[in-house]
Structure 1
């Protein structure tokens, strides 16, 4: 059985999706972009600013389920401009702690949104180094 999760503090868009879905011990969080959760306006014009805000929006949704970014086991990121990959990687590595989640990153044109990230979190444990 799965449960749709709606988080009033997270950015609200009039699109057909749930902020997240819990399926057993896993929480699948829909892609988030670098917008202010109250105004839904893009935060900053750099990949670093938008990545930081995007990750904060993911945190808001995870917190509603009692989780943190340390519970994330997989992330998928879409970056608008290939030249922004270094800035994205720098900010990602500043926000996530080691050991990093498994990850996919792909270039995808998204207009003014420079990055979108979705994650899968495992609620029973945080990432550890084996």
Structure 2
């Protein structure tokens, strides 16, 4: 696949497994899941769920920008929560990062996430 390129930025956490931060094929970018890791320390941010959600959006934002886009270019966002009771908090914080029209979205309750994170998000970007 000659039009496939790997997106990597030091402004987002390095991959902690066998994956890339994002892969671009043509004008579509597939964003890998981001948890609330601080890109410099590679440690999970402390505090409440709000801090984790904000860090996840900051990490996604950095990868979007490295691909030549912005959060506004996300057309599909997947959210994984260990507690679906935090769904309203995600909506509240997401509204500070996105403008209408919002991307298509799914929110899924999961039993656990890497490194004990409470939230993970991935998505698809259209440039």
Give the TM-score taking structure 2 as reference length.
Answer: 0.89
Q: Secondary structure at the match of 1:105?
A: strand
- Aligned alpha-carbon RMSD (Å): 1.3
How far apart are the structure 2 equivalents of 1:109 and 1:14?
A: 20
Q: Does 1:121 align with 2:125?
A: yes
Contact 2:82–2:119 (CA<8 Å) still a contact in 1? yes
Q: Which residue of 1 aligns with 2:86?
A: 84
CA gap 1:80/1:4 in 2 versus in 1, 3 angstroms: same
Q: Per-residue displacement from partner, 1:28-49 (whole Å, max 9, x unpaired)?
A: 1100011111111112332211
Number of aligned pairs? 123
In structure 1, stretches of 5+ residues that fail to align are 124-130
Report the CA distance between 1:75 and its aligned residue: 0.3
Q: Per-residue displacement from partner, 1:50-102 (whole Å, max 9, x unpaired)?
A: 11110100111111122100111110010111211111121112211111100
Q: Which residue of 1 aligns with 2:47?
A: 45
Q: Secondary structure at the match of 1:120?
A: strand
Q: 1:110 aligns with which of 109, 112, 116?
A: 112
How far apart are the structure 1 equivalents of 2:38 and 2:58?
A: 10
How far apart are the structure 2 equivalents of 1:89 and 1:5?
A: 27
Q: Which residue of 1 aligns with 2:56?
A: 54
Contact 2:10–2:39 (CA<8 Å) still a contact in 1? no
How far apart are the structure 2 equivalents of 1:46 and 1:106?
A: 19
How far apart are the structure 2 equivalents of 1:41 and 1:64?
A: 21
CA gap 1:117/1:14 in 2 versus in 1, 3 angstroms: closer
Q: Secondary structure at the match of 2:93?
A: helix
Q: Which residue of 1 aligns with 2:27?
A: 25
In structure 2, stretches of 5+ residues that fail to align are none
Q: Does 1:100 align with 2:113?
A: no
How far apart are the structure 1 equivalents of 2:112 and 2:96?
A: 24
